[in-house]
Amino acid sequence: MAERTEIMNELERDRYFLQIAMEEGARAEEADTVPIGAVLVDSKGEVFACGRNHVHSEMDATAHAEIDVIRKAREAMIKSSDERQFTLYTPVEPCVMCSGAIYLANIKRVVWALDDDNFGGFRELKQHPRYEARLKKISTTSMPFEDMANFQRDRMIRWDLRRGKQNHWPEVAMQ
């Protein structure tokens, strides 16, 4: 029974921190930039940094939400005696650039609400022979909650349509 409680607690924790990341994404959307946020949490559940996308508001192609939280928590991450103790939560699968930064920052786990088959890169990099050994050190939880995946999908569709782009986000099909 204790094992089930531990699983439930992890799911509850994942939902809680994903919700915070999605709230950061709402702030990004209000600033008229890509509606993605991120939260970096240590193994005890302490939030070390919250951040959001600033690509359009700062006119900086590298100003992704994941990079924002890594930069904000840099001192704590560098000084940490426990390698790979942090979990990063974000509404959308990290891109290739952010995936590299996640590896270099010694993040141990990444949780995202919505897979991104178009621009996301974490799943593909993790399976690539050149990076597989490095990235297998990082555990991932992809799309744990259907309601959050659908909410973020709708948000991304709105963002794309506002910018005159076609919808490339497929229906969410949970297994």
Enumerate the active-site residues. 66
Taking alpha carbons only, the member of 36, 52, 10, 39 closest to residue 151 is 36
Task: Measure the CA–CA gap between 109 and 87, rounded to whole angstroms.
Answer: 5
The tokens for 24 are 């950061």
Please enumerate, as own/partner, the contacts of 92-96 that have beta carbons within 8 Å and a separation of 24 or more: 92/36, 92/116, 92/120, 92/152, 92/156, 93/120, 93/121, 93/122, 93/123, 93/142, 94/64, 94/66, 94/120, 94/121, 94/122, 95/64, 95/119, 95/120, 95/121, 96/121, 96/124, 96/125
